[in-house]
Structure 1
Amino acid sequence: MRSTILPPLKVSTLHQTLLRALRLVWSMAPGWTAANMLLVVIMGVLPIAALYLTKLIVDSVTAGLAGPDPAAGFPQVFFFILVAVVIALSLAIARSLSELTSEAQSMIVTDGVSDILHAQSIAVDLEYYEDTSYYDTLHRAQQEAPYRPTRIVNGLVQIGQNGISLLGVAVLILTFSWVIALILLAAAIPAALVRYYYARARFRFEQENTESERQAGYYHWVLTDSSHAKEVRLFNLGPLFRERFKNFRTDLRKGRLKLARYRTLSDSASQAIVVTALFGTFAFIAYSTLQGMITVGDLVMYFLAFQLGIGFIQAILNSLAGLYEDNLFLTNFYQFLDLEPKIQAPENPALVPEPRDQKIEYRDVRFSYPGGTKDAVSGVNLAINPGEVIAFVGENGSGKTTLIKLLCRLYDPDSGSITVNGIDLRRFDPVAWRKEISVVFQDYVHYYLSAAENIWIGDIEQDQDPAIIAKAANRSGADAVIQKLPEGYKTNMGHWFSGGQELSEGEWQKVALARAFFRDSNIVVLDEPTSSLDPLAEADLFRNFRDLLEGRSAILISHRFSTVQMADRIYVLDKGRITEAGSHEELLKLKGRYAHLFRTQAEHYQVKHSEN
């Protein structure tokens, strides 16, 4: 049994996450990020200037009222007001520009992170998809990654802006009383602690409930996706799955509301401390004014400064707590990005042997899937000569498709090797080797693209030559289907997009076969290639099958013996091992497992024929 392949989750230190997030955002949007930082400085300085101007205005008005001619002081007051207007307008413009830069930065980073997720999803080995914990990691990365890096940068921006403003406020308050400055700092700490503990509690909750979130998402998908629509109605599964979805969502909602209630109560208590400190300080400032120690303008300035100072400190501490929260959640994203594929090109890859001259050998191959309790294949030895057609036969789960996945280097054997002309597949660049293989798996994909693109994506390095695409479609029988579509090869397939046309399963299989024939490869692998075809279409495909191969090797996997009996050699698998091998005639003479399965299927058709 192979253990799970994901490494344990490690929460990065705050500075590691900050540096990594900053590099990520800067690499994607350097211009917008630089503009945002400049605006931060401007928005940090202007509020202090506005605060000081307020003092000057109040003092000028007070002085004018105390003088013999109050109106004489108005020009000075009016000048200060004009300066205040300029500052207010500048601050408003800076805020608007900051919103623009932040929005642009966010959109660019969100799209960039999505691209990183897509690239990593393609790069990781297929074996990760066999691991349940991988889906939890992927889900958490998808949920958090698009916006967390931008939030980190914006959090640092807010810390910078508030820090600059706080520095100015601190200078003003320290000129009045250092005790007031300490009270200012102490009053803001409880709110930051609340945010810190809430972030930890929420992170634990989301970690522990990721699978429940995915299960709810699964039931939502089943209820809304077209691929399940028939059975949901036929078996009346709608009420059952709706109830299960609601139960998952209810449990998740209750857990999150419990955390929210805790945060609300704690926030209320911390804000009570802030209000008490604010108005207690205001009383002290008012008393100092009445004692003649400071002017009325000072009274207004210090009160506003204290009010702003608490706000700035709270904002800074909240931003720090937010950075801590973002650090926790970005750990999921970076855990996903740090997954290392095992199947990689060697430093000096060997050249893939020339097409039509590739002898493939499985040498004592053993393999088990991650988390599996037994070997999927074991002790497999076989050879495929150039231009040869072989077939794998066996019951479900006997290892047939696993041998194909190993040949394609979607996995590597646990022991043994697969060689081409004596060279281990692991010595080739996997991308270069896969170009040599065309595969139609039994769970082939319906691509909701045009009919032409559905065939062309079999080999995207080729030009979209209509003649070559049509030739591949002719070979699989798909051309007759496509010609009947409203716009022929330009018709969109499926009902996801406007003008799309849905095909029958057999017609989709013909398109998938055309994809394999379009690929300029040396080996054609067909896994249950006619499972959805009618008997006439199957007969048409295999009547000239060797001509269609044009000298290429082929591997057939099928439960239909009418399909495999034309193979040069047939391998019978049972529980991951090859138990018989030979041509159709040789295996019938052997009177073993193959002969038994063949006669059982033949008798079934004979009974059906006699009944008709």
Structure 2
Amino acid sequence: MNSLLLRIRPFLQTLRYALAFVWQSSPSLAVGSIAVRVVQGLLPLAVLYLTKLLIDAVTEGLKVPSQEASLTPIATILAGLAGAAVISAMLTVGASLISRIHAQVVTDHMHALLQAKSVEVDLEYYENARYQDTLHRAQQEAPYRPTAILNALLQCFQDGISLLAMAGILWWLHWAVIPVLALTAIPYFFVRLQQANRLFAWERERTPLERKAWYVNMLLTQATAAKEVRLFDLGPRLQKWFREARTVLRQERIALERRWALAGLAAQIVGVIGVFGVYSFVAVRTFHGLLTVGDLVMFFQAIQRASGFLEGLGWSVSNLYESNLFLTTLNEFLAIRSKLPQAVRPRPFPASLGQGITFEQVSFQYPHEERVAVRDFTFTIKPGEHVAFVGANGAGKTTLVKLLCRLYDPTSGRITIDGTDLRDYAIGDVRGAVSGIFQDFVKFQFSAKDNIALGVNASEVALPVVAQAAKQAGVHEAIERLPKGYESLLGKLFDGGHELSIGEWQKVALARAILRNSQVLILDEPTSAMDAKAEAELFERFHELAQGRTAILISHRLSTVKMADRIFVIDRGQIVEQGTHDDLMGRQGLYASLFLTQAQHYQ
């Protein structure tokens, strides 16, 4: 009994979630679907009864001399059957149309939920393999699972209505027929439930391997790694890895399918025995004159249909139970909550910085990593000051930017703006006050205008405003040379797109950052793909456009930071030196050593 409850309880929970999910997507379509399915469910009852009347009318007509027989009753019944057939055809088309429309609405609703949660979660989750597994499972189910839920719910409802109608007819025959047919259908239902449970467990266990196969396939088929795949002849090796992963997944799934096929066959044999037992009961009663020929045909069809409806109901219910895989994964994904605490009563963010930005003994360690990325950072950046953070790759430069943007919170210490802890401001206000580009900036495959206009949160940005930002970033002339100017599509992902050089892409990203007009401007390795002349031009322009704003420059190329008001030298997660370029060169410390080493390459 406890085992049965353990199986039924998740199903009832799944059914409740599925009903709420479908209803929220479109109440009007849900009502329309239910109405059509009710009529479809009751229609077989009318057809069976009209069939019985037709056979009885024909049988009685055979007993009357032909010259006295009337075809009127038979014609009337035939007209009724024809009308029922027409109504059935109309309902089938209508139900199919509503189902297809509703499936699209449900799918779009589900995508909206996934996208909203994906944007909401912290950056930390995207650097977590378990989160990636959860997201992958949710995305893999997205193309078909909502439609499966909708179809299973509607079919379950229709089969339930029809089954009740058949049960009414069979109760007229004998009440014991109903439990006999129900008992013979139970084994198949439990086989399907067991199949759903095993499939759910197997898919969760094999998500990492499935995701690996998906990743290798992406490397083989998308532009991300196209150059390396060809240069290093990686195709055969990557294909081998993909085949190996898919072979394991395929063989395990086939083994499961074989076991389920054998178990399903045994369960269906039990059902066949039950159905033919009831057939025998009806035949014997007809033979003894207790039923008419019309009754015989009606009950035979009722038994056959009841058996089919029971099997269909079991299939629909088990499909809903199987959809627990999707709903559990979806709920698991939607249950993710930000680890960055929101201020209950956020402080108003200053319209302009008065005291500046202060790091007070800030340390940070990435989750699931032993290495401390930032240790005891203590410094203040004054309003309007231009500072640079330099050091080798992996020293902790970019981490401090993530902390300032509140993509993470410090492990210890605190960051303040005008004396107020970042955690006491609304997260949106903190991020809205910061603008910039990262070394791994996104090349949005949109028009040049849209690429730059994404810098501000507005539905429409005037072209002159966009063009002004492009001029400040030094990319206006490059965009104007494109066939459609600012309406030209950038990138090669879509037809008619135009590829830019890496330096031009970076200038587009810089224009996007400039357009945001934030109080703090951050440039994280912004010139890594530019030549020396372009680099010099950009930094002259940078100092001009950053006037009146606080600017933070992250770089490992020391020639780019000489103009900064102050330079912080980071080594192994700690600030080891700070001062102007001349001060640091005079100290002959780490900065001077790195600067002279890099300068040798330009002599």
Q: TM-score, normalised by structure 2?
A: 0.95
* 1:118 matched residue in structure 2: 115
Q: Within the alignment, does 1:424 sit opposite 2:399 as a pair? A: no
Change (3 A) 1:337 1:71: farther
Q: Any unmatched runs of 5+ in structure 1?
A: 1-10, 607-612
* 2:450 matched residue in structure 1: 453
Q: Alignment partner for residue 365 of structure 1, among 352, 359, 362?
A: 362
Q: Which segment is superposed worse, 579-588 or 152-161?
A: 152-161
Distance 1:16 1:264 in 2: 27
How far the C-alpha of 1:116 sits from its partner, in A, is 1.3
Distance 2:21 2:279 in 1: 45
Q: Alignment partner for residue 415 of structure 1, among 388, 406, 412?
A: 412
Equivalent residues in 2 for 1:69-80 (5 A)?
A: 69=66, 72-80=69-77
Give secondary structure in 2 for the equivalent of 1:13. helix
* 1:586 matched residue in structure 2: 583
Q: Alignment partner for residue 504 of structure 1, among 489, 501, 504?
A: 501
Distance 2:14 2:371 in 1: 40
CA contact (8 A) 1:526 1:557 kept: yes
Q: Within the alignment, does 1:231 sit opposite 2:228 as a pair? A: yes
Q: Within the alignment, does 1:515 sit opposite 2:512 as a pair? A: yes
How far the C-alpha of 1:150 sits from its partner, in A, is 4.4
Distance 2:306 2:9 in 1: 32
Distance 1:134 1:329 in 2: 16
Q: Which segment is superposed worse, 132-141 or 66-75?
A: 66-75
Give secondary structure in 2 for the equivalent of 1:371. coil
Give secondary structure in 2 for the equivalent of 1:556. strand
Distance 1:71 1:288 in 2: 31
Give secondary structure in 2 for the equivalent of 1:178. coil
Distance 1:63 1:100 in 2: 43
CA contact (8 A) 2:33 2:95 kept: yes
CA contact (8 A) 1:344 1:429 kept: no
Change (3 A) 1:560 1:173: same
CA contact (8 A) 1:166 1:312 kept: yes
1:199-256 superposed Cα distances (whole Å, 9 cap, x missing partner): 1111111111111111111111111111211111110001111111122112211121
* 1:527 matched residue in structure 2: 524
Distance 2:34 2:292 in 1: 37
Equivalent residues in 2 for 1:74-223 (5 A)?
A: 74-223=71-220
Q: Which segment is superposed worse, 271-280 or 119-128?
A: 271-280
Opposite residue 386 of structure 2, the aligned amino acid is: V
Q: What is the percent sequence identity of the aligned residues?
A: 46
Distance 2:147 2:68 in 1: 52
Opposite residue 404 of structure 1, the aligned amino acid is: V
1:180-215 superposed Cα distances (whole Å, 9 cap, x missing partner): 222211221121111111111111111111111111
CA contact (8 A) 1:126 1:410 kept: yes
Distance 1:79 1:366 in 2: 88
Q: Which segment is superposed worse, 436-445 or 168-177?
A: 168-177
Equivalent residues in 2 for 1:482-497 (5 A)?
A: 482-497=479-494
* 1:17 matched residue in structure 2: 14
CA contact (8 A) 2:584 2:592 kept: yes
* 1:555 matched residue in structure 2: 552
Q: Any unmatched runs of 5+ in structure 2?
A: 1-7
Change (3 A) 1:557 1:462: farther
How far the C-alpha of 1:388 sits from its partner, in A, is 0.5
Q: Alignment partner for residue 27 of structure 1, among 24, 29, 41?
A: 24
Equivalent residues in 2 for 1:179-578 (5 A)?
A: 179-343=176-340, 345-357=342-354, 359-461=356-458, 463-578=460-575
1:419-442 superposed Cα distances (whole Å, 9 cap, x missing partner): 011001111111122121111101
Distance 1:289 1:70 in 2: 30
CA contact (8 A) 2:52 2:298 kept: yes
1:57-91 superposed Cα distances (whole Å, 9 cap, x missing partner): 11111111123338614221111111111112112
Distance 2:274 2:10 in 1: 34
- Aligned positions, number: 596
Distance 2:541 2:153 in 1: 68
Opposite residue 21 of structure 2, the aligned amino acid is: L
CA contact (8 A) 1:22 1:149 kept: no
Change (3 A) 1:541 1:555: same
CA contact (8 A) 1:189 1:314 kept: no
Change (3 A) 1:272 1:19: closer
Opposite residue 310 of structure 1, the aligned amino acid is: S
Distance 1:429 1:12 in 2: 41
How far the C-alpha of 1:176 sits from its partner, in A, is 1.9
CA contact (8 A) 2:559 2:595 kept: no
How far the C-alpha of 1:151 sits from its partner, in A, is 3.2
* 1:58 matched residue in structure 2: 55
Give secondary structure in 2 for the equivalent of 1:555. strand
How far the C-alpha of 1:343 sits from its partner, in A, is 2.9
* 2:3 matched residue in structure 1: none
How far the C-alpha of 1:417 sits from its partner, in A, is 0.8
Distance 1:497 1:253 in 2: 33
* 2:4 matched residue in structure 1: none
How far the C-alpha of 1:258 sits from its partner, in A, is 1.4
Distance 1:362 1:590 in 2: 24
Q: Which segment is superposed worse, 229-238 or 11-20?
A: 11-20
Give secondary structure in 2 for the equivalent of 1:69. coil
Distance 2:68 2:553 in 1: 101
Distance 1:112 1:209 in 2: 27
Give secondary structure in 2 for the equivalent of 1:340. coil
Opposite residue 505 of structure 1, the aligned amino acid is: I
Give secondary structure in 2 for the equivalent of 1:438. strand
How far the C-alpha of 1:358 sits from its partner, in A, is 5.1
Distance 1:275 1:470 in 2: 75
